[in-house]
Amino acid sequence: MAELLSKYVAPGGEVELRAIERGLGPEAQDEKDKKPHRSHVLKVLTEDRLEIAMPIENGKLILLPVDGEYDMYFYGKNVVYQCNGRVVDRYRLGGQYVLVMDLTSNLRNYQRREYYRFSCALDMDSRELGDQEEFSVAEQKELLPSLPLKSSVIVDISGGGLRFVAYYAYEVNSLILCKYTLCVEGKEKEYRLVGKVLAVNELEHRPGVFDHRVQYVDVNPQDREEIIQYIFDEARKVHK
């Protein structure tokens, strides 16, 4: 795998780690909210071992535990490679704090890139759709533009959906209109997408604030690709 690693993973490349929760089935693990840690590759050591920089968040060093297991996502240009990894050592080398990671699965092209979630803080307006509008969604007719919208904040986004927090709660399985603006390739564009509410939970540490998970419904393929492009662009900015 050394040649494979050197071909697809290079020093300076961006990497994101998400903790693997043992004891959870694949579906439950996918739904569990795992905070990602962003870092970059320092050196490819062997065919299944590499050094990465210890993550730093808000100026604080994140000491990931030895033997901790993670999903690792390596960013290329408009592509993501994924594998599982385990922390086998950590130390300070000069002024750099280093994690040594062993790959515990093969590196693969992450085909479901549209479902890769990117943490963010974006303003969004939304409202619930009525019964008649649900029919218009399937027929791809224009939605009513004059009805009032409610404010919220997107906290992570992907090409398949988003998660937002708000001081109100929608019903699970309801359809909502999501309106937000992204800057893609230097140009701002407003998106008006329909989403299905998959889950709603009140935040333990913030009573009265509700976390919503939303899956897009009948999203335009071009809009999806632009959202994915936004995620790649913003991830590169964050890592730099």
Fold: same for 2-111 and 115-239 = no
List pLDDT tens digits, range 70-129. Answer: 999 887 766 778 899 999 999 998 888 999 999 998 888 876 666 678 889 999 999 998
Residue 69, number of CB atoms within 10 A of its CB: 17
Rg of the chain over CA atoms, in angstroms? 20
CA distance 230 to 155: 15
More confident residue, 27 or 133: 133
Q: Rounded to two decimals, what is the model's pTM?
A: 0.59
Q: What are the residue boundaries of the structural domains of the chain, listed by start?
A: 2-111, 115-239
Give residue 26's pLDDT: 42
List pLDDT tens digits, range 5-27. Answer: 777 888 888 888 989 876 544 43
Average pLDDT over residues 50-57: 92
CA distance 127 to 130: 10
Report the C-alpha dihedral over residues 170, 174, 175, 180, rounded to 10 degrees: 20
Report the C-alpha dihedral over residues 144, 145, 147, 153, rounded to 10 degrees: 120
Of 2.30.110.10, 3.40.50.300, 3.40.50.20, 3.40.190.10, the CATH number of 2-111 is 2.30.110.10
Of 1.10.287.130, 2.40.10.220, 1.10.510.10, 2.70.98.10, the CATH number of 115-239 is 2.40.10.220
